[in-house]
Amino acid sequence: MASLAVPLRASATPAIAGTGSGGGSRAADPVKVSCVRSKVTCGFPSVGASSSLASSVEPVRATATQAPLATHQSSSTEKTKVGINGFGRIGRLVLRIATNRDDIEVVAVNDPFIDAKYMAYMFKYDSTHGPFKGTIKVVDESTLEINGKKISVTSKRDPSDIPWGNFGAEYVVESSGVFTTTEKASAHLKGGARKVVISAPSADAPMFVVGVNEKNYNPSMNVVSNASCTTNCLAPLAKIVHEEFGIAEGLMTTVHATTATQKTVDGPSMKDWRGGRGASQNIIPSSTGAAKAVGKVLPALNGKLTGMAFRVPTPNVSVVDLTCRLEKSASYEDVKAAIKEASEGSLKGILGYTDEDVVSNDFIGDTRSSIFDAKAGIGLSSSFMSSSLGTTTSGATATGSWI
């Protein structure tokens, strides 16, 4: 849903002076790149699509302050019917996003812990994104009406008991955070769903990042993963840098907004002692598999990236800092130019680029997966650089340049 961009530290954005082919067998110097991420779409562009996901994404402007939430315009009057399992942070935001799409209709929501009245309340009021701009009312204990359209509500604990077929739901967004393996998520198919999109990383389901590897999707795949917000932030950046200059190896650090699993005050957390400390009081080191997951969507980088996370006391938007050693010699200006070109071309609407003096709050509500911050990166030499990406997480887990 979460659906990342990477900010780089530099000033101007000059035209590319060449990708730099020198360096022979010697790997280029490290480059630091930062990205910001702000996408929580759970792969909606791919739902029911036979063509490239990237081509279906509505383009947005390139700077952080000029990226409005775009309403998707479909040439077809037929809508894709979607069900949502898990009406937490991601599930609610998926529904909000769907209300701005004319090609998607959410027909049912399942959550065993929330009744219809509480669903309506949680959907209407959002501490990060503000009140819902449309209309919502509770018709009865099993029906909500949003913007005049009725949505069925169920409270089944077992996914196989949810009658998706009765509601006409062909695709299910699995956003409970519980059923993240192919076997567990496949339970939705027993209720009549045709396809399942897991809104989190999966141990065994095929993983896709829009703009990176969605063309590898095969219609025979009934359960897929949309990866994590951090992976969605990092992967588009890594793709461009690797294609243009080659990444020999790299380390990623994500400065991550607070997530729902953290504690408001110190509390028990047996598997992660530091994770049990008060979220609003501490910077908390944590593990993340986002960098390694990039190797699953970009096999050429498998084993070349790893990283860690720091959870910080902010409610939304995270940043990914990527430091990598390049295979080809290049200046930081070359790297910026390549990323800017991609943000205006092949990855427009997915990877953003900004050279403005922005901060994390400037990306709240940004629909792009990742935003590269040109002033948040630096190059040590012609083969060693660091850059930052950011994305908004809308309260969900996120990492990346501006996430």
- The domain limits of the chain are 30-39+231-391, 44-226
Give how far Cα 59 sits from Cα of 2, 216, 251, 344, 373, Å: 18, 22, 30, 9, 18
Per-residue pLDDT at 385: 72
Strands (E), 171-318: 171-174, 195-198, 223-225, 247-256, 284-287, 305-311
pLDDT tens for each residue of 304-323: 999 999 999 999 999 999 99
Q: Percent of the chain at pLDDT above 90?
A: 73
Rounded CA Rg of the chain: 20
pLDDT-derived band at 382 (thresholds 50, 70, 90) equals confident
pLDDT-derived band at 26 (thresholds 50, 70, 90) equals very low
Annotated active-site residue in 35, 42, 229, 324: 229
pLDDT tens for each residue of 200-258: 999 999 999 999 999 999 999 999 999 999 999 999 999 999 999 999 999 999 999 99
Query: Which is nearest to 276 in space by CA: 268, 286, 264, 288?
Result: 268
CA dist., res. 299 & res. 105, Å (int): 34
pLDDT tens for each residue of 50-98: 333 333 333 333 334 344 444 444 445 789 999 999 999 999 999 999 9
Give how far Cα 80 sits from Cα of 29, 98, 198, 376, Å: 47, 10, 17, 40
| 229 has catalytic annotation | yes
| Domain 44-226: homologous superfamily in CATH | NAD(P)-binding Rossmann-like Domain (3.40.50.720)
Per-residue pLDDT at 5: 33
Question: Domain 30-39+231-391, what architecture?
Answer: 2-Layer Sandwich (3.30)
CB 325 within 8 A of CB 214: no
For residue 363, give the amino acid letter.
F
